[in-house]
Amino acid sequence: MSLYVLVLFLHVCGDVGIFIGIGAQLLSLAALRRAKSVEQVRAVAWLITISDPISVISALLTIAAGLYMALTVWGLQTGWIAVALASIIVLLPPLIRGVIEPRMRAIVTMAREAPDGPLSAALSAHIHDPVLGTALQTMAALVLGIVFLMTIKPSLVGSIIAMAVALALGLTSGLPLWRAARIAHPRTEG
């Protein structure tokens, strides 16, 4: 067995871990949106808390193994690798660190500090925030797009198109969340 094959295995394992983390976040949000009490929110909050380290460790493993393979076999100038790296550096961090993590952390903190009983309007608004749901779904679509690049290995132009489609699909998948938020919290004119 060559070192490359072992690193490829670690790279794929890291990808699996990333999708486990994303799935846990999406499942948590779905469960939170069905919660009627603070106690139910707290029961789901532990899943949010434990999914973060899984995602981070998996992402670091994936990136390290991917960089090793890119530097030793493919080269960073390869179109699909350049687009995948750009996506990892440019698209994912602002989405994760700037949108998803602060909102999830706010939900967990508010639930921890809230008294038992029904959800407050503020906690409910955080849970049903369409920005959070759209960001999570967009992150999943982008990561799936990166996996597409890794498996299909399209040209530079094909890679850019694939990631643009993944971004568009992720953002579009959030439209029902925005409609639901508008129905649940209609704006008052006046």
Q: Is residue 130 part of a domain?
A: yes
Q: In DSSP terms, which residues pair with 37 in a beta bridge? A: 118
Question: Are 91 and 142 spatial neighbours (Cβ–Cβ below 8 Å)?
Answer: yes
Q: Is residue 19 part of a domain?
A: yes
Going residue by residue through the chain, which has 190 residues, state the pLDDT in tens, using 9 for 90 and above. Answer: 799 999 999 999 999 999 999 999 999 999 999 999 999 999 998 888 888 899 999 999 999 999 999 999 988 889 999 999 999 999 999 999 999 999 999 999 999 999 999 999 999 999 999 999 999 999 999 999 999 999 999 999 999 999 999 999 999 999 999 988 887 766 644 4
pTM > 0.85? yes
**Residue 4: predicted pLDDT:** 92
Q: List the domain range (segments joined by +) for residue 139.
A: 3-184
pLDDT on residue 49: 87
Write b or e for each residue in 7-26: b if 16 or more Cβ atoms lie within 10 A of its Cβ, otherwise e. Answer: bbebbeebbebbbebbebbb
Whether 35 is in a domain gets the answer yes
In sequence order, the β-bridge partners of residue 42 are none
Among candidate residues 30, 88, 90, 19, the one with its CA nearest the CA of residue 54? 19
3-state secondary structure of 36: coil
In a domain, 49, yes or no: yes
Q: Is 59 a domain residue?
A: yes
Phi-psi region of 71 (alpha: psi -120 to 50; beta: other; left: phi over 0): alpha
Domain membership of residue 104 (yes or no) is yes
Q: What is the pLDDT of residue 76?
A: 86
Residue 189 lies in a domain: no
Nearest to 136 by CA among 29, 35, 45: 29
pLDDT tens digits, residue range 99-149? 999 999 999 999 999 999 999 999 999 999 999 999 999 999 999 999 999
Handedness of CA 93, 175, 31, 111 (dihedral sign): positive
Number of domains in the chain: 1
